[in-house]
């Protein structure tokens, strides 16, 4: 390893009695891509904020480029070449690419007037550094998420960054965009920059980083060369739990199919989709974004109407005209974007839990029965082991995995026979992910018919009893998860061998 | 294909042209000198208000108190000058009124910028406070204007006559104030970091803070600016009317906000231009002033104004939605 650009030792930090960091150490060499991994609440964000000068640590040392500090302020950190790229990128959606790139620089130089010629020069210099081709006069809101991220990276480079900290940079990117981002990261590395890549996604850690540090509950649990890491140890270090590789084998598919789809077609999106689903089965549907998988799910849930083809439930042909009729027929749908589609974020957990069954929880006059509501909410919290301190806290205070459980509970409260899950563990940490998988298997074993749509291939392999691969709107192959591999699946869904 | 069609200024300018041609074709009076001067005259006060109003909306806020500030500032100034029998230059009237407006705007700015209270609630509250003070503490009623203001009201730049009908209209000198304020606001918004900061705050307040903008300072400035502008507008208004009616401007705030939004200013903040804003005000002024030329009674003009607001803002909302859809589709297509 080369001389470290950053070395922190024995950092502790507590917030009102809660110990967020307990003597954490981290060392990053210059020109190194280092991955910082850990579950939600492991202290990753706190550590980043200590390094970038937002928080003052209670104890410990920070060494940057050989200089010792007990703490930094944000301006000093920037001056030392430390740049953080936040998850929201901190861009101005309403301003042009040019202004987004130049404004920070101009502010740092304490300028009072805006000189557009200088701004353009700054901006074109910035994008040329990573070979990013973009219209400088376009408003940032019209760009893709990936392009906004590149703008944040270019802006960091302008301020002579030596270490760029990327906080979960891939969480909103498609696979292709992740590839492009990795190419940019490699390019930065070749120019001698160090990257601290914060992630909890194993594949990415393996693909991009040379060294890793894993935190759990505010402590270092492991660090070393990424080459020497494997999936099982990674999951173990992250969660402190051992996970066995699991497959779901239905204990015996119970009787006739509850759902049959025949030749379903939505012009331009998907065509001639046919499959059967029996109680106790978990059908995995995998495919790339844009393969039609989400639209298929939305059709089954009555959000979209097919152009032709038929849907049968319990052997009877049905037309699912809208969401209400889907729910009446016992279909539940867990959207991929639970934040905007599934939950009332500022509302309490218990209210979110009972929203779908309010008619059962109110008196004949239509008044809500508070006691019954509280009891029902507690039952669900117990049954799905939702980690929440009090049921009256707003849902947005829960971790992703627990939010997902709240959405699940809502559906389970209705008499459900078919549950469709779209990307059920996107943005969820490993521990909760395993919990959700276990829950799915249990629900299926109890007789629910489940469709899981996911491009997380290990997830599909671990949960589904049958896998359908979708590409460009058609099913290309049906596979048995115990007799296939991740690479086979990926080959089929991309069409690239 | 591009940026131009996504903006709303071209549409609203087109609407103004079509409407003027229509009125001209039916009445032959629209493009007469005196009608145009009358329009300009009616436009001055709402246009002055709209400039500050647009800037606040761009910053992600909303201000409904500017008419109350204008009324109280001009009324107190008027009584002060009458009581002191001052007969000098009108500049003093503008200065006092602007100063009072500054104080009232600073109260808004303090509550919004420093105590971080929601802008709508704050300005609704101060609006009620200021009107209450005016009618309660100062028991305001229509009053004469001091000689300085009266003289200022008679200063005219030129007179346009309509030979056919023998009507004459005077172009008031207050239009120069509007032009000066427009030039100032244009320079501020486009060429100063403070102006760009207003847009930045409206785009993403957290990002603005991280970038190093003084967000509190920007908000403080904005509401103070609106206050000063309101104070000036108040004097401009009573000088053109030659008497000080405390309720003459109250209620105008909704029309002004509607004109600003019609002019393409995004209600959620971040986007808005002076050209769009003035076009919005112009369209509203034509609707309320000139429809009578083609025999549409005045009360109907309110119906038209309402319809234009709904259609205009509806079109803007639709544009935003369809760009977003196109955006997600193209995102999918690249995968």
Domains in chain B: boundaries: 3-324
Is some CB atom of chain B closer than 8 A to the CB atom of A99? yes
Residues of chain B that touch chain A, judged by Cβ-Cβ distance less than 8 Å? 3, 190-196, 199-200, 202-204, 206-208, 210-213, 266, 269-271, 323, 327, 330-335
Is some CB atom of chain B closer than 8 A to the CB atom of A263? no
Length of chain B: 335
Please give chain B's pLDDT, 335 residues, in tens.
345 456 778 888 888 999 899 888 888 888 888 889 999 999 999 999 999 999 999 999 999 999 999 999 999 999 999 999 888 889 999 999 999 999 999 999 999 999 999 999 999 999 999 999 999 888 878 888 888 888 888 888 888 888 777 788 889 999 999 999 999 999 999 999 999 999 999 999 988 988 889 999 999 999 999 999 999 999 999 999 988 999 889 989 988 998 998 888 988 899 999 999 999 999 999 988 888 888 888 778 778 878 887 887 777 667 666 655 444 444 443 33
How far is B53 from B64, CA to CA, in rounded Å? 8
Contacts of A290 in chain B (CB under 8 A): 332-333, 335
Minimal Cα distance from A139: which residue of B? B3
* Cβ contact B204–A288 (<8 Å): no
The Cα of B329 is separated from the nearest Cα of chain A by a number of Å equal to 9
- Which CATH class, in words, describes the domain spanning A4-239? alpha beta
Residue segments in chain A with a per-residue pLDDT below the cut of 50: none
Minimal Cα distance from A104: which residue of B? B211
Classify domain A259-494 by CATH number.
3.40.50.300
Contacts of A138 in chain B (CB under 8 A): 3
For B192, which of A95, A114, A142 is closest by C-beta distance? A114
Q: In this predicted structure, what is the pLDDT of residue A252? A: 62
Cα torsion for A209, A213, A216, A218, to the nearest 10°?
Answer: -130
* Of B308, B302, B255, nearest in space to B50 by CA: B255
User: What are the extents of the domains in chain A?
Assistant: 4-239, 259-494
For A289, which of B266, B269, B332 is closest by C-beta distance? B332
Residue from B194, B207, B265, B331 whose CB has the most chain A CBs within 10 Å, to mutate: B207
* Cβ contact B191–A114 (<8 Å): yes
Contacts of B211 in chain A (CB under 8 A): 90, 103-104, 107
Burial (0-12, 13-18, 19+ Cβ within 10 Å), A284: buried
How many other CB atoms sit within 10 Å of the CB of residue A432? 21
Residue from B209, B320, B330, B331 whose CB has the most chain A CBs within 10 Å, to mutate: B331
Tell me the ipTM for this assembly: 0.84
How far is B251 from A84, CA to CA, in rounded Å? 48
pTM higher than the cut 0.95: no
Fold match between domain A4-239 and domain A259-494:
yes
Q: Which residues contact A44 (CB under 8 A, 6 or more apart)?
A: A36, A37, A38, A198, A215
The Cα of B60 is separated from the nearest Cα of chain A by a number of Å equal to 12
Burial (0-12, 13-18, 19+ Cβ within 10 Å), A244: exposed
User: Token pair 């204008």 is at which residue?
Assistant: B70
Classify domain B3-324 by CATH number.
1.10.3470
CA triple A136-A139-A142, angle to 5 deg: 115
DSSP assignment letter at B47: H
How far is B7 from A8, CA to CA, in rounded Å? 50
* Cβ contact A90–B206 (<8 Å): yes
Q: In this predicted structure, what is the pLDDT of residue B327? A: 46
* Cβ contact B212–A108 (<8 Å): yes
Is some CB atom of chain B closer than 8 A to the CB atom of A92? yes
């Amino acid at each position: 390893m080369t001389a470290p650009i950053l070395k922190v030792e024995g950092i502790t930090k507590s917030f009102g009695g809660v110990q967020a960091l307990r003597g954490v150490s981290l060392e990053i060499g210059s020109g190194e891509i280092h991955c910082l991994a850990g579950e939600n609440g492991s202290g990753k964000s706190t550590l980043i904020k200590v390094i970038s000068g937002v928080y003052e640590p209670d104890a410990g040392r920070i060494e940057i480029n050989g200089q010792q500090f007990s703490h930094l302020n944000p301006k000093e950190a920037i001056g030392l070449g430390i740049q953080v790229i936040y998850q929201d990128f901190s861009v101005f959606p309403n301003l042009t690419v040019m202004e987004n790139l130049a404004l920070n620089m101009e502010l740092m130089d304490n300028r009072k007037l805006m000189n557009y010629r200088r701004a353009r020069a700054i901006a074109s210099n910035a994008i040329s550094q990573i070979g990013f081709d973009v219209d400088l006069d376009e408003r940032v809101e019209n760009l893709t998420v990936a392009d906004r991220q590149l703008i944040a990276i270019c802006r960091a480079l302008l301020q002579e960054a030596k270490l760029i900290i990327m906080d979960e940079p891939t969480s909103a990117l498609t696979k292709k965009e992740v590839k492009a981002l990795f190419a940019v990261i490699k390019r930065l590395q070749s120019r001698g920059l160090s990257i601290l890549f914060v992630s909890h996604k194993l594949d990415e850690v393996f693909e991009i980083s040379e060294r890793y540090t894993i935190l759990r509950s505010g402590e270092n649990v492991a660090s070393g060369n990424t080459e020497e890491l494997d999936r099982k140890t990674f999951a173990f270090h992250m969660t402190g739990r051992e996970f066995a590789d699991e497959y779901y084998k239905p204990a015996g598919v119970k009787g006739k199919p509850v759902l049959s789809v025949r030749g379903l077609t939505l012009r331009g999106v998907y065509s001639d989709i046919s499959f059967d689903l029996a109680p106790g089965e978990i059908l995995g549907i995998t495919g790339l974004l844009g393969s039609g998988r989400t639209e298929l799910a939305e059709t089954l849930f009555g959000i979209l109407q097919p152009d032709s083809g038929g849907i049968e439930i319990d052997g009877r042909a049905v037309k699912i005209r809208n969401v209400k009729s889907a729910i009446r027929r016992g279909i539940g749908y867990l959207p991929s974007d639970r934040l905007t589609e599934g939950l009332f974020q500022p509302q309490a957990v218990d209210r979110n839990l009972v929203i779908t069954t309010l008619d059962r929880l109110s008196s004949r006059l239509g008044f809500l029965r508070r006691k019954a509501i509280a009891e029902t909410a507690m039952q669900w919290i117990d049954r799905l082991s939702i980690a929440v301190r009090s049921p009256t806290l707003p849902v947005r205070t829960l971790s992703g995995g627990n939010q997902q459980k709240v959405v699940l509970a809502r559906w389970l409260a209705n008499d459900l026979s078919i549950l469709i899950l779209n990307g059920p563990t996107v943005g969820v940490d490993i521990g909760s992910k395993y919990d959700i998988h276990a829950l799915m298997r249990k629900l299926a074993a109890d007789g629910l018919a489940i469709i899981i749509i996911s491009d997380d291939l290990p997830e599909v392999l671990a949960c589904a009893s049958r896998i359908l691969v979708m590409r460009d709107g058609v099913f290309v192959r049906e596979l048995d998860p115990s007799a296939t591999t991740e690479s086979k699946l990926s080959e089929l869904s991309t069409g690239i061998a | 294909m591009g940026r131009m069609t996504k903006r709303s200024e071209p549409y609203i300018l087109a609407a103004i042209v079509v409407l003027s041609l229509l009125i001209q074709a039916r009445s032959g009076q629209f493009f007469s000198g005196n009608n145009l001067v009358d329009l300009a005259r009616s436009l001055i006060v709402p246009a002055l208000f709209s400039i500050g109003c647009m800037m606040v909306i761009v910053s992600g806020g909303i201000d409904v108190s500017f008419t109350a500030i204008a009324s109280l500032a001009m009324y107190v100034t008027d009584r002060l000058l009458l009581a002191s029998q001052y007969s000098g230059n009108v500049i003093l009237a503008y200065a006092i009124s602007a100063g009072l407006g500054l104080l009232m705007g600073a109260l808004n700015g303090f509550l919004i910028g420093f105590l971080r209270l929601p802008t709508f609630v704050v300005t609704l509250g101060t609006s009620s406070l200021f009107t209450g003070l005016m009618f309660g503490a100062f028991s305001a009623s229509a009053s004469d204007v001091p000689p300085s203001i009266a003289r200022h009201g008679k200063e005219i730049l030129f007179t346009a006559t309509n030979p056919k009908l023998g009507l004459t209209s005077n172009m008031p000198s207050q239009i120069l104030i509007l032009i000066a304020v427009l030039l100032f606001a244009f320079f501020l918004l486009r060429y100063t970091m403070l102006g760009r900061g207003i847009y930045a705050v409206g785009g993403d307040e957290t990002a603005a803070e991280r970038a190093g903008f003084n967000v509190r300072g920007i908000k403080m400035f904005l509401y103070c600016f609106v206050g000063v502008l309101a104070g000036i507008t108040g004097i401009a208004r009573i000088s053109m009317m030659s008497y000080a009616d405390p309720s003459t401007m109250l209620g105008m705030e909704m029309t002004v906000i509607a004109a600003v939004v019609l002019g393409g200013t995004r209600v959620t903040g971040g986007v808005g231009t002076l050209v769009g804003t003035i076009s919005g005000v112009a369209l509203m002024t034509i609707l309320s002033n000139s429809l009578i030329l083609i025999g549409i009674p005045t009360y109907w003009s309110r119906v038209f104004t309402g319809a234009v607001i709904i259609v205009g803002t509806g079109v803007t909302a639709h544009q935003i939605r369809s760009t977003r859809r196109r955006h997600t589709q193209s995102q999918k297509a690249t995968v």
